[in-house]
């Protein structure tokens, strides 16, 4: 009978489909090993360098050829892609909250992921600075100058950009300390976003608006992005370090579920450990991120002067900061509504 035939055919096909991956896995790996690093927007140049150095290092230590593929985008969007099934071996995102979100929603890595690597799993640091036009025509020296009449400050949207969350918290932290208290900070940040003429979806978008489209008087951005913009479009911009800013700690993590399924754990772990090596730390500093290594940092002191900073700990960690500031209907949503309605 025809239907019996078909059914048996389907079953046989299904059995073959189930058996096939096992057969493939049993064979020795022939093609070069690949890792997928899902990262955020401004790390393109950094990981170009790091990946090349890691491949050489891994081969030298007898690991065989390895290629690290990259995926870049807004940090939150990248986290969502991983949650929705993008097979990342490692994630290197803008803030811990996005990796927490992956851990909580997929259980692809343990909730305590951040304690698995040195220094809270953050091999490099950055901070938030102000980039102004050459000659600093509006005389912007600190956060307080951003809300003077006639000053326009370009920043991305904290809802869609990881960097923008650090910017928002940096402004809030400065105001809470210098103006005194959270109520004052709320007023200041409300006023600040009233001075934002273009709210781009990512840090790179804001850089483009400010540097190429000539929008605004000052760009609020990552220190590394400010350096990069200066290098690409030298002479047109000046970097202004505010009197107080936030220590941005972009974390990295292994995605256990992916590496165990693909058999890439050893290489992926080595890759993340490599970020802490002197060679990688030097590349990190060259790409304008602040290295963890004190020795490497000392060699680049001129580029990375000491700044007074506070950490996400001031806000009770990312989970608390998210709930208080960035969740639906939390502080940011409320102050936007206030800022727009005047």
Partner 1 sequence: MPGFALTLGVTLTVLSTVVLIPLSAVVIRSAGLGWEGFTAAALSERALAAYRLSFGAAFVAACVNGVFGLLTAWALVRYRFPGKALVNAVVDLPFALPTAVAGVALSALYAENGWLGAPLADLGVRAAFSELGVVIALTFIGLPFIVRTVEPVLRDLSREVEEAAASLGARWTQILVRVIWPALLPAWLTGFALAFARGVGEYGSVIFISSNLPFSTEIAPLLIVIQLEQYEYGAAAAIAVVMLAVSFLMLLVINGVQAWSRRYEG
Contacts to partner 1 by CB under 8 A: 74, 76-77, 80, 83, 101, 105, 157, 159-160, 196-201, 205, 209, 212-215, 326-328, 333, 336-337, 340-341
Please identify, using beta-carbon distances, which residue of 63 and 194 lies nearer to partner 1. Answer: 194
For the bound state, the minimum distance from the C-beta of residue 102 to partner 1, rounded and expressed in Å, comes to 11
Query: What is the three-state SS of 256-283?
Result: HHHHHHHCCHHHHHHHHHHCCCHHHHHH
Whole-angstrom Cα distance, residue 276 to residue 25? Answer: 32
Residue 331 beta carbon to partner 1: minimum distance, rounded to whole angstroms = 14
Minimum CB–partner distance for residue 233 and partner 1 (Å): 13
Q: Which residues pair with 67 in a beta bridge?
A: 34
Residues contacting 56, CB < 8 A, separation 6+: none
Mode of pairing for the β-strands spanning 153-156 and 199-200: parallel
CA 234, 240, 241, 245 dihedral sign is: negative
User: Based on CB atoms, which residue is closest to partner 1, 103 or 176?
Assistant: 103
Backbone angles phi, psi at 200, to 5 degrees: -75, 165
Distance CA 310, CA 198 (A): 27
- Report the C-alpha gap between 23 and 17 in whole angstroms: 10
User: In terms of CB distance, is 74 or 242 closer to partner 1?
Assistant: 74
Q: Least distance (Å) from partner 1 to the CB of residue 22?
A: 32
The gap between the terminal CA atoms of the chain, to the nearest Å, is 77
Contact 218, 131 (CB under 8 A): yes
Nearest distance in Å: CB 180, partner 1: 28
Tokens 């005047």 appear where?
342
Q: 75 vs 281, which CB is nearer to partner 1?
A: 75
Closest CB to partner 1 among residues 273, 338: 338
Place of tokens 């809030």: 172
CA distances to 24, 153, 226 from 229, in Å:
47, 16, 5
Measured from the CB atom, is 269 or 333 closer to partner 1?
Answer: 333
The answer to whether residues 90 and 268 touch, using CB atoms and an 8 Å cutoff, is: yes
Question: Toward partner 1, which CB reaches closer, 198 or 279?
Answer: 198
- Select 60 or 340, whichever has its Cβ closest to partner 1: 340
CB-based contacts of 241, cutoff 8 Å, min separation 6 = 129, 130, 305, 307
Secondary structure class of 199 (helix, strand, coil): strand
- The distance of closest approach from Cβ of residue 21 to partner 1 in the complex, given in angstroms and rounded to an integer, is 28
Min separation Cβ 74 and partner 1, Å: 7
Specify the 3-state DSSP secondary structure of 57: helix
Closest CA to 89 of 108, 111, 117: 108
Q: Between 54 and 237, whose beta carbon lies closer to partner 1?
A: 237
Residue 250 CB, nearest distance to partner 1 (Å)? 17
Q: Least separation, in Å, of the C-beta of 261 and partner 1?
A: 24
Q: What is the largest CA-CA distance in the chain?
A: 87
């Amino acid at each position: 009978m025809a239907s019996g035939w078909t059914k048996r055919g389907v079953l046989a096909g299904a059995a073959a489909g189930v058996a096939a991956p096992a057969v493939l896995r049993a064979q020795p790996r022939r093609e070069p090993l690949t890792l997928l690093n899902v990262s955020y927007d401004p790390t393109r140049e950094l990981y170009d360098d790091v990946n090349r150095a890691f491949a050489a290092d891994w081969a030298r230590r007898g690991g065989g050829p390895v290629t690290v593929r990259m995926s870049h985008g807004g940090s939150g969007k990248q986290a969502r892609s991983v949650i929705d099934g993008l097979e990342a071996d490692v994630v290197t995102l803008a803030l811990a909250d996005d990796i927490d979100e992956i851990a909580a929603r997929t259980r692809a890595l343990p909730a305590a992921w951040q304690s698995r690597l040195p220094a809270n799993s953050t091999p490099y640091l950055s901070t938030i600075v102000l980039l102004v036009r050459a000659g600093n025509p509006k005389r912007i020296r600190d956060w307080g100058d951003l809300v003077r009449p006639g000053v326009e400050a370009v920043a991305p949207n904290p809802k869609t950009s990881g960097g923008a969350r650090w910017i928002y918290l940096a402004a809030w932290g400065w105001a809470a300390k210098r103006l005194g208290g959270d109520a004052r900070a709320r007023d200041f940040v409300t006023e600040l976003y009233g001075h934002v003429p273009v709210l781009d979806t990512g840090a790179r978008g804001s850089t483009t608006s400010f540097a190429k489209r000539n929008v605004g008087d000052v760009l609020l951005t990552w220190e590394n992005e400010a350096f990069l913009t200066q290098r690409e479009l030298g002479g047109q911009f000046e970097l202004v370090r505010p009197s107080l800013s936030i220590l941005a700690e972009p974390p990295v993590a292994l995605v256990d579920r992916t590496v165990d399924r693909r058999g890439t754990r050893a290489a992926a772990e080595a890759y993340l450990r490599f970020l802490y090596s002197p060679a990688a730390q030097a590349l990190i500093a060259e790409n304008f991120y602040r290295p963890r290594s004190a020795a490497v940092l000392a060699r680049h002191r001129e580029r990375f002067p000491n700044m007074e900073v506070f950490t996400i700990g001031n806000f009770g960690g990312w989970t608390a900061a998210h709930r208080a500031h960035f969740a639906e209907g939390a502080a940011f949503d409320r102050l936007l509504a206030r800022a727009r309605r005047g």
